[in-house]
Amino acid sequence: MKRIIRAWWQVTKMALIGQILTTGGWYLFIIGKIIRFILFFAFLYLVVQQRQSLAGYSPVKVIWFYLVFNLLDIATQTLFRGTYWFRRLLIQGDFDLDLIKPLPSFFRPVFGWPDILDFVTFIPLIIFMTLFALFHQLIPSFSALFSFLFLFINSLFLAFAFHLMVASICILSEQNIQLTWIYRDLTAMGRFPTDIYPRSIRLMLTFIVPTILLITFPAQAALGLLPFPSVFIATLATIIAVMGALKFWSWALRRYTSASS
Amino acid sequence: MKRTALSLLKQIKNNLILGQRLYLIALQDSFIFRLNFLFLRLRNIFFLLSITFLWLSLYQDGSDLFGYSKEKMLTYIIFVALLKGIVLGTKTNDLAPTIKNGELTFRYLIRPWNIAWVWFCQDWAAKSIDLFFLLPEVFFIAFIVGFSIWLPHSLLTWLIFIILVFLAVIFNFLFRFIISLSGFWWEEVWAPNWLFGIVLLEIFSGVFFPLDILPSLWQKVIYWTPFPYLLFFPVKFLLGQVSSPYSVILILLIWIFLAAIVMQNLWRRGLKTYSAFGG
């Protein structure tokens, strides 16, 4: 574990150096992220303020869902960006070089390219969320805060499982599959409280890409609205998903054939 | 005189044949990775579902919101989704990497082609695919959600709407082309494309929500940019909420004129700085 963390820290430093070397784009990226965040924030606040509630949630609580979505989105983008580049590694045949390294085989495909640009917005968001929660007294108790933190980490593991599955599919298929974008679109449906969707869509958001487990549960837990059995269900689902993803990865890896010449 | 006219006609004919071939090739290119293509379609559906259900739950009590009835708001969403494919659909994103990796030389510069025309024809491939699939997708969602769409009856309204969309298509092409020309000077062409071609273009053109729900100062600032005239104003006009469409047409024409000048200048300057290495 220590070795993996050390390797991750090393690739993170390298990613940071790479992004500092080419400084041309980072400020446009950050500006874009801030504009999008502010305008969507304003939009949500304005529309829900008019009605005073959305699916039974007050405007402040609706914003809270949006903030939790952003927090998880940034965290997963920072950590698991490698999946987006994995196909290139495969078709160039360079994955062979990673397989001979004394690291887990999934390290490079999932953790290989941490996105530091995304991380830049992570800290300000946490500060803003803390102030927002304190100002509006959103988190009713320590147990709610603890449940939120626990489920947030749980969501990271669940997101890891999904990204690992995507990497496995990349090995199995020659198609340029944009499954990570499907994942992102489905999780983006969680930027609003998922209670606005009909039952059929909620089922899809629970079992296909578990947006409800990923975003809605942590957000509800912080507000003290999530019953304990749901925490248990989320944990169990994550354990099953991670184990399933690891098994699927091993199975896919056995079918891997090098593309190098 | 007759000879000049004939040669001009021949040139137009050649350009049309070239355009048709490029269009067909671009169409075929889009279907190389079919599974991926299917996933791209799914992305549109998820986005549309998310926005539709958000508004549906906001309209649960039945009263109007920001001056929009439920019917008009859903019509806005549906038409923006359709126009997004027609107006914002583009292939010009591929121009920047073509400049960066030097393919510009042997794919375009050594051929007797007008580069803008080449990319414009390829753009239409992206647009027609989007439209072909968006129509059933949008009406499928309208059907499962079960809402009716508000449509104007006047033929003139539709005619002006088509003119607005056509001008928006031209402006979008010029604008995206200009962004891609940054490939002449910048290593990281994804950054301007992401900020201007995705974030600003989509939000300020009204893809996510009608811009007139924002505070009036914000609206005034946004209306000074060309983006609202691409989707927001054409759809607002269709909903009968724009009293003077001719001013929108005039503003679009001015933006097109300015963009064409900037594009030509940047292209000329870019070619002067451009260098590619063979191998």
Its domain, for residue A79, covers 26-254
Supply the pLDDT for residue A60: 92
Is pLDDT at B209 greater than 80 in this prediction?
Answer: yes
Within a domain: A205: yes
Total tally of structural domains belonging to chain B: 1
Could you tell me which residue, A198 or B108, shows the higher pLDDT? A198
Q: B155 vs chain A: nearest CA distance in angstroms?
A: 34
What ipTM was assigned to the predicted interfaces of this complex? 0.84
A176, B199: Cβ pair inside 8 Å?
no
**Binning pLDDT at 50, 70 and 90, where does residue A159 land?**
very high
* Mean pLDDT of the region B248-258: 96
* A-B Cβ pairs (cutoff 8 Å, strict): 103
- Give the pair of three-digit tokens for residue A236: 């169990």
HSE value, Cβ hemisphere, 13 Å, CA-based, for B279: 5
A203 touching B, CB under 8 A? no
Is pLDDT at B195 greater than 80 in this prediction?
Answer: yes
Supply the pLDDT for residue A175: 65
B50 neighbourhood in chain A, CB within 8 Å: 188-189, 192
What CA–CA distance (Å, rounded) separates B178 from B173? 9
Closest CA to A255 of A115, A105, A54: A105
**Binning pLDDT at 50, 70 and 90, where does residue A22 land?**
low
Residue B58 has its nearest CB partner, among A32, A51, A181, at: A51
Within a domain: B185: yes
Amino acid in position A157: F
What CA–CA distance (Å, rounded) separates A43 from A59? 11
Could you tell me which residue, A205 or A248, shows the higher pLDDT? A248
Per-residue pLDDT tens over the stretch A105-153? 888 888 888 888 788 888 999 999 999 999 999 988 999 999 999 999 9
Residue pair A15/A116 in contact by the 8 Å Cβ criterion: yes
A212 touching B, CB under 8 A? no
* Mean pLDDT of the region B54-78: 86
Strand partners, A54: A57
Within a domain: B41: yes
- Give the pair of three-digit tokens for residue B156: 């003139």
Torsion of CA A259, B94, B96, A37, to 10 degrees: -100
A59 neighbourhood in chain B, CB within 8 Å: none
Place of tokens 């010449």: A261
Within a domain: B198: yes
Q: A188 vs chain B: nearest CA distance in angstroms?
A: 8
Phi, psi dihedral angles at A199 (to 5 degrees):
-55, -40
**Binning pLDDT at 50, 70 and 90, where does residue A203 land?**
confident
Residue pair A182/B43 in contact by the 8 Å Cβ criterion: yes
Residue pair A116/A78 in contact by the 8 Å Cβ criterion: yes
Supply the pLDDT for residue A144: 93
Closest CA to B232 of B166, B164, B174: B164
Within a domain: B278: no
A25 touching B, CB under 8 A? yes
**Binning pLDDT at 50, 70 and 90, where does residue A237 land?**
very high
Most confident of A163-177, B40-54, B229-243: B229-243
Total tally of structural domains belonging to chain A: 1
Supply the pLDDT for residue A177: 62
Strand partners, B65: B68
A177, B35: Cβ pair inside 8 Å?
yes
Is pLDDT at B240 greater than 90 in this prediction?
Answer: no
A31, B195: Cβ pair inside 8 Å?
yes
Q: Residue B152: CB partners within 8 Å, gap ≥ 6?
A: B158, B238, B239, B240
Is pLDDT at B198 greater than 90 in this prediction?
Answer: no
**Binning pLDDT at 50, 70 and 90, where does residue B235 land?**
very high
HSE value, Cβ hemisphere, 13 Å, CA-based, for A24: 12
Could you tell me which residue, B116 or B252, shows the higher pLDDT? B252
- The CA-to-CA distance between both ends of chain A, in Å, stands at 34
Closest CA to A249 of A110, A154, A101: A110
Is pLDDT at B167 greater than 90 in this prediction?
Answer: yes
In whole angstroms, how large is the CA radius of gyration of chain A?
19
Within a domain: A209: yes
Residue B57 has its nearest CB partner, among A46, A54, A186, at: A54
Within a domain: A3: no
Is pLDDT at B276 greater than 80 in this prediction?
Answer: no
Its domain, for residue B111, covers 2-273
**Binning pLDDT at 50, 70 and 90, where does residue A181 land?**
confident
Residue pair B164/B245 in contact by the 8 Å Cβ criterion: yes
Supply the pLDDT for residue B41: 79
Share the mean pLDDT of chain A: 87
3-state secondary structure of A54: strand
Within a domain: B108: yes
Is pLDDT at B37 greater than 80 in this prediction?
Answer: no
Is pLDDT at A23 greater than 70 in this prediction?
Answer: no
With vertex at residue A140, the alpha carbon angle to CA A137 and CA A141, rounded to the nearest 5 degrees, is 130
Residue pair A28/B194 in contact by the 8 Å Cβ criterion: yes
Within a domain: B279: no
Within a domain: A166: yes
- Give the pair of three-digit tokens for residue A135: 């100002």
Residue pair B135/B94 in contact by the 8 Å Cβ criterion: no
What's the 3-state SS for chain B?
CHHHHHHHHHHHHHHHHHHHHHHHHHHHHHCCCHHHHHHHHHHHHHHHHHHHHHHHHHCCCCCCECCECHHHHHHHHHHHHHHHHHHHCCCHHHHHHHHHCCHHHHHHHCCCCCHHHHHHHHHHHHHHHHHHHHHHHHHHHHHHHCCCCCCCCCHHHHHHHHHHHHHHHHHHHHHHHHHHHHHHCCCCCHHHHHHHHHHHHHHHCCCCCCHHHCCHHHHHHHHCCCHHHCCHHHHHHHCCCCCCHHHHHHHHHHHHHHHHHHHHHHHHHHHHHCCCCCC
